[in-house]
Structure 1
Amino acid sequence: MTSAHGTPYGAGKAPYVLASRTARRGRARSAPYLFLLPATVLFVLFFALPIGYAVWLSLRKVKVSGLGLGAGARREVWAGLENYTAAFTDDELLNGALRVLGYGCIVVPVMLGLALLFALMLDSEKVRLTPFTRLAIFLPYAIPGVVAALLWGFLYLPDVSPFYFVLDALGLPQPDLLDGGPLYLALSNIAVWGGTGFNMIVIYTALRAVPGEVYEAAKLDGATPLQIALRIKIPMVAPSLVLTFFFSIIATLQVFSEPTTLKPLTNSVSTTWSPLMKVYRDAFRTGDVHGASAQAVIIALATLLLSFGFLRFANRRTEREAAR
């Protein structure tokens, strides 16, 4: 058919239809990038740029001319790896890393062991009031770390703690948990109390995802509840155990709030007890921003290498077991 002017119907609309289809395809292709744009902007502004700025500061230093008075007496100059060399030879940073290592040797196995034990108990058919018990175990994780450290710090003080009052009434010895070796146990207790619930929820969720037919088949074969837990449940939640161990390593290397909060209560906690405490002291108290930046970069790289190494080891072990 033709119009009154002798042109076919729709002939003039074809270019507009093609343009509309092209525009729709372009919008469809750009839609994922538009959705990712807000997250990308936030990542760059609040993660990538601060890291880049910290690396930049770590490669510079302040040069003082004369007495350091007057305009231009203090200026930033290129330092190269000088700040990193000083950080690697800093005894305070090394001693703080060793203290955190001892702290982690207590926290990580105890916390994950309790989390696994609680998850297995909650997954048992004989346990009653499972929702309430699950919430009670998880609740300490919802308390901020500073508040938890203050709570336990006052419970550790002999003058105000009800535990010391009970021990004194019973004539039992009253150990000072904020002095010497017991300090590691006191700090570890705060971390275990606050972190066990989160790890328990992760492991318990993985247990609930295991099909019930697996347990029924094991029962038909004569497996006891203990054998089911050791030979079926724990191997099935191995990826969750790896994940919680990964998170625990990162949290242990970045310990800061607990010793900082307990510091006013005892002289056993120095301003450099942990590496991050030393970074904070050098950056905001002594004013050595450049040296503190180098230390922060070293801590970040150490955390990355340890975490990546552990994940690599876990993945290789999983691949070997799958190949068998």
Structure 2
Amino acid sequence: MTAAAPPAPATPPPAAAAPRRGAGTRRRWAGWWFVGPFMAVFALVFLAPIAYSVWLSLFQDRLVGGTSFVGLDNYAAALGDQRLWSGLARVALFLVVQVPVMLGLALFAALAIDSGRLHGAAFFRISVFMPYAVPAVVATLMWGFMYGTRFGLVGNLQDALGVTLPAPLSPDYVLVAIGNIVTWSFVGYNMLIFYSALRTVPRSLYEAAEIDGAGQLRIITAIKLPAIRGALVVATIFSVIGSFQLFNEPSILQALAPNAITTDFTPNLYAYSLSFSGQQYNYAATVALIMGLVTMVVAYVVQLRGLRQEK
């Protein structure tokens, strides 16, 4: 009987090729080649202006001694500046009243278009969105002309009806007039956000609800509104930020209503007046930074409450 031959020794696996020198470093920096251009632009147009504003806010330009370092004196002065706080209170009132009205109208329009029961939905959608395509300056000039009591729509109605209508650009109604312009301009923008969110809701949920006997109101409250809660939070945050940034409308209407819209009508208009009319660049930077901080805090609170409700 022939003995079996011993098994051949196993061939060792080939040694892995040693990584080339510098290959890991190139892989590590590869991502920065993609984000580098954005980071450069972000630092140039966002971080650098903020840093420069912070640096400006720490100095004062005095008649005697020139520009000198004052630390937080500008911030202490701003905290006691009644003109700043009156403008901030005016903007807060504008936010509390105008934002719910605007978002409510936008939500109603989005729900009406998404319902499938609106005839000419495509025409209605583009009609509601079209005012957003009008530049803010053009929209304000157009509405400012219509608000005129001597030459505009209000004046023509007074002459035709023989009555005296409230002047939209008077001190008592100018904030309402500005709110009307902003609402007219941005209802379509927010409507598009809500409508896009509604289109992502599966139609099977609506069919199941209808089979269970749910009406349209029940479908809206139980399915649609919870499904677009994230879009509601985003639109609210954008609207809050836009309200604190209120500048274009009062700045343009100021020439038509100088008695109603003063240089401190809004904090942004106040900072602009300080900088370009009063040559107080340091204090204007302080006001701008304070408004940025207030806006950030309020927007964060709105986002936090929205996330808690989502849970």
The reply to whether TM is greater than 0.5 is yes
Change (3 A) 1:172 1:222: farther
Question: Which amino acid letter does the alignment assign opposite residue 299 of structure 2?
Answer: S
Question: Which amino acid letter does the alignment assign opposite residue 173 of structure 1?
Answer: T
The one of 78, 84, 88 aligned to 2:79 = 88
Work out whether residues 96 and 272 of structure 1, in 8 Å CA contact, stay in contact via their aligned partners in 2: yes
SS of the equivalent of 1:76 reads: strand
State the match for 2:13 in structure 1.
none
State the match for 1:286 in structure 2.
278
State the match for 1:201 in structure 2.
192
Work out whether residues 102 and 186 of structure 2, in 8 Å CA contact, stay in contact via their aligned partners in 1: yes
In 2: Cα distance, 1:124 partner to 1:314 partner = 25
Question: Which amino acid letter does the alignment assign opposite residue 256 of structure 1?
Answer: F
In 2: Cα distance, 1:93 partner to 1:18 partner = 63
State the match for 2:106 in structure 1.
115
Deviation at 1:133, TM superposition (A): 1.4
Deviation at 1:29, TM superposition (A): 3.7
Work out whether residues 138 and 198 of structure 1, in 8 Å CA contact, stay in contact via their aligned partners in 2: yes
Question: Which amino acid letter does the alignment assign opposite residue 114 of structure 1?
Answer: L
In 2: Cα distance, 1:156 partner to 1:126 partner = 36
Work out whether residues 263 and 269 of structure 2, in 8 Å CA contact, stay in contact via their aligned partners in 1: yes
State the match for 2:4 in structure 1.
none
Deviation at 1:120, TM superposition (A): 0.2
What per-residue deviation string (whole Å, max 9, x for no partner) do you get for residues 58-111 of structure 1?
01112332xxxxxxxx42211011000110101110111111112112210110
Structure 2 unaligned runs (5+)? 1-15
Question: Which amino acid letter does the alignment assign opposite residue 285 of structure 1?
Answer: S
State the match for 1:216 in structure 2.
207
What per-residue deviation string (whole Å, max 9, x for no partner) do you get for residues 1-51 of structure 1?
xxxxxxxxxxxxx98x953xx666654443321110110000111110110
Work out whether residues 168 and 174 of structure 1, in 8 Å CA contact, stay in contact via their aligned partners in 2: no
1:308-323, aligned counterparts within 5 Å? 308-319=300-311
In 1: Cα distance, 2:124 partner to 2:23 partner = 53
In 2: Cα distance, 1:25 partner to 1:135 partner = 53
133-142 or 253-262, which deviates more: 133-142
Deviation at 1:231, TM superposition (A): 2.1
1:1-324, aligned counterparts within 5 Å? 18-19=19-20, 26-65=25-64, 74-266=65-257, 267-319=259-311
State the match for 1:71 in structure 2.
none
In 1: Cα distance, 2:243 partner to 2:123 partner = 29
Question: Which amino acid letter does the alignment assign opposite residue 249 of structure 1?
Answer: V
In 1: Cα distance, 2:217 partner to 2:185 partner = 28
- Count residues with an aligned counterpart: 295
Fraction of identical pairs, as percent = 37
In 1: Cα distance, 2:221 partner to 2:163 partner = 39
In 1: Cα distance, 2:167 partner to 2:154 partner = 12
What per-residue deviation string (whole Å, max 9, x for no partner) do you get for residues 144-179 of structure 1?
111111110010002222343234323343220100
Question: Which amino acid letter does the alignment assign opposite residue 303 of structure 1?
Answer: T
TM-score calculated relative to the size of structure 2: 0.90
Question: Which amino acid letter does the alignment assign opposite residue 213 of structure 2?
Answer: G
Work out whether residues 206 and 237 of structure 1, in 8 Å CA contact, stay in contact via their aligned partners in 2: yes
Question: Which amino acid letter does the alignment assign opposite residue 46 of structure 2?
Answer: F
Question: Which amino acid letter does the alignment assign opposite residue 291 of structure 2?
Answer: I
Work out whether residues 250 and 307 of structure 1, in 8 Å CA contact, stay in contact via their aligned partners in 2: yes
Question: Which amino acid letter does the alignment assign opposite residue 48 of structure 1?
Answer: L
In 2: Cα distance, 1:171 partner to 1:216 partner = 55
Structure 1 unaligned runs (5+)? 1-13, 66-73, 320-324
In 1: Cα distance, 2:195 partner to 2:256 partner = 37
Question: Which amino acid letter does the alignment assign opposite residue 232 of structure 2?
Answer: L
In 2: Cα distance, 1:298 partner to 1:94 partner = 11
Work out whether residues 129 and 187 of structure 2, in 8 Å CA contact, stay in contact via their aligned partners in 1: yes
In 2: Cα distance, 1:281 partner to 1:170 partner = 40
In 1: Cα distance, 2:308 partner to 2:116 partner = 34
In 1: Cα distance, 2:157 partner to 2:69 partner = 61
In 1: Cα distance, 2:52 partner to 2:221 partner = 49
State the match for 1:6 in structure 2.
none
What value does the CA root-mean-square deviation take over the aligned residues? 1.7
Question: Which amino acid letter does the alignment assign opposite residue 84 of structure 2?
Answer: L
TM-score calculated relative to the size of structure 1: 0.87
